[in-house]
Amino acid sequence: MTDIRIIRCQGPDQLPKLREAGEQGRVDKVVEKVLEAVKNNGDAALFHYEEKFDGVRLESLAVSEQEIGEAVVRTDPAFLDILREAKDNIAAFHEKQKRQGYLMDERPGVVMGQRVIPLDRVGVYVPGGTAYYPSTVLMDIVPARIAGVGEIVMATPPGRDGKVPDDILAAAHVAGVDKIFKIGGSQAIAALCYGTGTVPRVDKIVGPGNIYVATAKRMVYGLVDIDMIAGPSDILVIADDSANPAFVAADMLSQAEHDKLSAAVLVTTSEAMAQAVAKRIREQLEKLSRREIAAQAIERNSAIIVTDTLENAVAISNRIAPEHLEVCTGEPLALLPLIRHAGSVFLGHYAPEALGDYFAGPNHTLPTEGTARFSSPLSVDDFCKRSSFIYYQKEALARISDKITAFAMREGLDAHAKSVTIRMEGLE
């Protein structure tokens, strides 16, 4: 029988450690070797690692237009309609995120501003393996399209048959991808970073993945940009007596089933709710197809925390900084101003985390493992860069030349000063 811990805690300072320690040291060594091999050997290394790690001997790394077309034809038309509607919802939400540059010309002879420029080429990683995620395809490609990225390249692991699942290819087609490659794991990140004979080098890599993917992204950051280092998924639910314990248990298990390293936490002001949710978790767990994975996540990394007030519940949540935060209380909007650290917030009894995963519109690529303290969900901003510009006429520079010179000399940089004074020589 799988049991979840119940902890009594009056505030964030009393929180015990919730997650088990990972195996990062061993993973680092594996990933370093893969990155070096792909950097030096290109496509040959990719074919080797696909056979070694994904168990498939490929004839080609690229997914052809014919393969995509055939996958779309095989996909259930009703699911295609769902994909299109989800895409529209995601696009409508992300369109609001588009930024415009600006121009400043209030001072005589001076023009300054900022330009917002889409990236030339972006790599999107879509995980596979024990499950596959057409939703991630939409979430990562649609904002890139809205941003105006020049080329979107997707990498995703093939199945043992050497094919990418139809639903993944159909989602990529709906979202508007440019190229797709059958590559998984850290070797995919290496290929997107360094480029190979087949895979083009990208400017930024986005998308979630397992610990090997996350480690590879961390290691290549600086050669390319990345969205975030996403770890195992997590959810935190704040609940009072108004919550339905069956709903809460189902929502906690919805994240526990992702990965044995996932975490599901309930913070409640009700001892009765704590006991009822623990019971429902045991009952619902037995009926899940991924119960072995979910059970490990519940036993190792999850907990029910009982505290005295909803204010303390929010304080505990802010300390944990969850990827997904559900507020299942009688007046959820009243708590929203107190919430500072969460990737995405779901308010009320009828906004389950799965709503955000698939359909509502906000992005589901979110900061994990407490990084919501300082980072944000994937957005249109992730696919753009900003560049400033300055134009000064001669007279405008002359008005402030002495101030720039004084600043430069204060720092002992006389060549900086000279670059201004040389322009002033001979001015009347």
Q: Does residue 254 sit in the same domain as residue 341? A: yes
| pTM (two decimals) | 0.92
What is the three-state SS of the chain?
Answer: CCCCEEEECCCHHHCCCCCCCCCHHHHHHHHHHHHHHHHHHCHHHHHHHHHHHCCCCCCCCECCHHHHHHHHHHCCHHHHHHHHHHHHHHHHHHHCCCCCCEEECCCCCEEEEEEEEECCEEEEECCCCCCCCHHHHHHHHHHHHHHCCCEEEEEECCCCCCCCCHHHHHHHHHHCCCEEEECCHHHHHHHHHHCCCCCCCCCEEECCCCHHHHHHHHHHECCEEECCCCCCCEEEEEECCCCCHHHHHHHHHHHHCCCCCCEEEEEECCHHHHHHHHHHHHHHHCCCCCHHHHHHHHHHHCEEEECCCHHHHHHHHHHHCCCEEEEECCCHHHHHHHCCCCCEEEECCCCCHHHHHHCCCCCCCCCCCCHHHCCCCCCHHHHEEEEEEEEECHHHHHHHHHHHHHHHHHCCCHHHHHHHHHHHCCCC
Domain that holds residue 407: 393-424
Report the catalytic residues: 323-324
User: Could you read off the pLDDT of 329-355 as tens digits, one per residue?
Assistant: 999 999 999 999 999 999 999 999 999
Q: Does residue 203 sit in the same domain as residue 248? A: no
Q: Does residue 414 sit in the same domain as residue 332? A: no
Q: Does residue 410 sit in the same domain as residue 341? A: no
User: Could you read off the pLDDT of 355-409 as tens digits, one per residue?
Assistant: 999 999 999 999 999 999 999 999 999 999 999 999 999 999 999 999 999 999 9
Q: Does residue 343 sit in the same domain as residue 415? A: no
Across the chain, mean pLDDT equals: 95
Q: Does residue 221 sit in the same domain as residue 236? A: no
For residue 50, being part of any structural domain is answered with: yes
Residue of 211 and 305 predicted with greater confidence: 305
For residue 313, being part of any structural domain is answered with: yes
For residue 379, being part of any structural domain is answered with: no
Looking at the structure of the chain, the number of domains it has is 3
Q: Does residue 302 sit in the same domain as residue 187? A: no
User: Could you read off the pLDDT of 281-296 as tens digits, one per residue?
Assistant: 999 999 999 999 999 9
For residue 311, being part of any structural domain is answered with: yes
Q: Does residue 260 sit in the same domain as residue 362? A: yes
